[in-house]
Each structure stands twice: as C-alpha cells, then as structure tokens.
Structure 1
Amino acid sequence: MISTPMSERLPDRVVLAPNYKIPIVLIAASISIATFQLWVGLAVGIFGVFLSIQTAIIKLEFTTTTLNVYRGSNIIRTFPYTEWENWEIFWQPAPILFYFKEVNSIHFLPIIFDPQMLRTCLEYYRPKSDSAASSL
C-alpha cells in the first residue's frame, strides 16, 4: 500500500497520467482468443481498442475538494469528496478497477490511469475513514 506522509504535500491539482496496460493486454488477448473463437476475440479486441481511445481522451484530475473527469480539455463530471462514502481499487497487485460510492450513486472505472498515483491521490485527498474501512 502506498501512503503519503502527512508532511509530504501533493499539489492542489493533480492530473493522472494515462496507463495503457489494460487496453494492451485486452488487444493481445483478443488475438489469442480469436484463434479459438473468432467472434469472442473480435469483441475483446474491439473493447481493447475502445479502452485505448478512452485512455487517450479521458483525464482524471484531483483537486483539494473534487475529482474532476475531463474529455479532452472539457470537464464532463465533477465528484465532490464531501459526497463520497467509500472508495476501493480492486485486484492488487494488478489493479484493474476503481470503485467509489457517493451518497446517491456508485461508480466503476477501469484503471486506465497510473494506479500508484491514483491510490496516492485517493489516500491524500479523500482518505478512508475508519468506519468506511470496517464496513467492507
């Protein structure tokens, strides 16, 4: 688990770097799958290409009060930390899914961003409370 000491401060704004590992693995797997099941391999490959495009276009920005989602240079969604109940990164040591729950909704995002910096930002800007951690 990566932790940020309280003496170490992150900037007021952090934009996560893209991470193409999941799309590349999916595209590579689709080639192998296609040798046995063409249509399944094609579907996995198309999903890998879709995630590659999303990785290039979508950006996550952590600020002191919100998580912002950008498509290119346009902000498409803002998630204030005050409305978050919990967050989790699934399947360590190969993180593939980021989950967070707001008061009125649940969100799942594939890890198409730097997973270590994602965890660092989450722990810094929106640390888990003891009650949220014990409810998992």
Structure 2
Amino acid sequence: MASALLSASLFHPSKNGDGGLCMRNFRSSVYGKVPSNPSSIRKEAAHLGGRLVINSALGRRATKRETVIPDPDYRIPIVLLGLAGGLAYTNNLLPAAPAGLLGLLLLFQTTRVRFVFDDEALEVKIGEQLQESGENVFVGGKNRWKYSTFVNWELWWPNFPILVYFKETQTKPEGQVHFFPVIFNGKQLYDVMVERAGPSKTSGPKQS
C-alpha cells in the first residue's frame, strides 16, 4: 500500500496548476500520515489498479502452452506381427500375409510419425527432427488442424487404444473425419486431447 500511495503522490498535479509535483502528499505517504487529499489518492490508486489488471490479462494471453509430443508405442505393430507369425505357423498363410504387412507398415510408421500438439493446433510431423509431413494424401491440405475447429474426437479403446478419430471443420465446412492408428502412448494422447480439444462426447471425461 505504501508503494502504491507513493506512486500516486509523485505523479499527482498540485492544486495551483503549475504542473509541479505535490510534495506534501509525497511526505505524508513517506511518514505514514494521512494524505491531505485522500480522494485524489483513491482516484490515482484506482487508475493504477486498472492498469495492473489490464497488464495481468495481457500477460495471461501471451503465455503459451507447452508443445506436447506423445511417445511412440509399438504394441499394435508387435501384436500384428505376432498374430501373423502364429497364423503362418499354423499354415494359415492367406490371413497371415495382410496381418504381417500391416504390422510391418505400422512398425515403420511408429519410428517416424509424430503427433505434435502445440499451443493452437495438432500437426503430424516426421522423424526426430520433426520435418513437415506435406499435404494429406487423402483429403488434401496441410496435416495441421486447429483445436478450435474440432467438432468431436474419440479414442478406441482407452485400456488398449487402437484408433483415434477426430472431426474438424478446417478442411471443409461440413466437417472432415480423420482416423489414425494409435502408435503413440495412449495415456499421453488422451490427456493432451482432453486439455487442448475438450472432453470427448462419449469416452469422457464427462463435462459437469
């Protein structure tokens, strides 16, 4: 309070209108006495408080959320490759071939594809150097979608997540659906999706 009063007194004009400083108020605030013009001090303090509120709000808006990159998870490709091996062992070569190929593809993708959650959008990037992934081969456009355009998202199944789905209106106004295999840490993926895109409509957490 003493510092606020000191600031208000230093910059409050004197009554004689000569533009000088009101040293009487300055002395009163220094020695802890009641200022000679309390109403003026209150006005200055209120004005100063308003500036502090504005600066505080601006500071909050300027603060960015940290970038989150979920860790890779190799469980799905390992399960598929194990299934393909079991089928091949029992001479079920026809189903073993697609399971094995899909497992190899997902194994390769797990080593290179990254979901990058920055302050305003989810972006798909490539490799440890996080290189640009180029245009989406299925629907076109950059593989970057703002959270504000997300209509809904789901994670199937939370205990052993297989697919993540989301629908956004950035690619086209009526909404574009995306499916990705969960080749990332499912818990990290779920938590950051809840934080950045809001709760899922069916898989929770439920809004109160």
Structure 1 length-normalised TM? 0.83
Structure 2 length-normalised TM? 0.55
Displacement of 1:25: 0.3
Indicate conservation of the 8 Å contact 1:66/1:80, yes or no: yes
Q: Which runs of 5+ in 2 are unaligned?
A: 1-63, 134-142, 170-174, 203-208
Give, in whole Å, the separation in 2 of the partners of 1:133 and 1:119: 13
Q: State the SS of the aligned residue for 2:68.
A: strand
Kindly indicate whether structure 1 or structure 2 has the higher relative contact order, using CA contacts under 8 Å at least 6 residues apart: 1
Q: Percent identity over the alignment?
A: 31
RMSD, matched Cα: 1.9
Cα deviations by residue, 1:61-83 (Å, 9 ceiling, x for unpaired): 11121001002232221111111
Displacement of 1:20: 0.1
The answer as to 2:84 corresponding to 1:30 is yes
Q: State the SS of the aligned residue for 1:15.
A: coil
Give, in whole Å, the separation in 1 of the partners of 2:184 and 2:65: 18
The answer as to 2:151 corresponding to 1:80 is no
Q: Which residue of 2 aligns with 1:7?
A: none
Give, in whole Å, the separation in 2 of the partners of 1:11 and 1:52: 30
Q: Which runs of 5+ in 1 are unaligned?
A: 1-9
Displacement of 1:11: 4.9
Q: Which residue of 2 aligns with 1:4?
A: none
Aligned residue runs from structure 1 range 107-126, under 5 A: 107-126=178-197
Aligned residue runs from structure 1 range 51-70, under 5 A: 51-70=106-125
Cα deviations by residue, 1:61-112 (Å, 9 ceiling, x for unpaired): 1112100100223222111111110011012321111000112210001010
The answer as to 2:156 corresponding to 1:90 is yes
**Structure 1 residue corresponding to 2:72, chosen from 8, 13, 18:** 18
From the two aligned structures, give the one with the greater strand fraction.
1
Q: Which residue of 1 aligns with 2:40?
A: none
Cα deviations by residue, 1:38-65 (Å, 9 ceiling, x for unpaired): 1210211111010000000100111121
Give, in whole Å, the separation in 2 of the partners of 1:30 and 1:54: 18
Indicate conservation of the 8 Å contact 1:63/1:125, yes or no: no
Equivalent residue pairs, number = 123
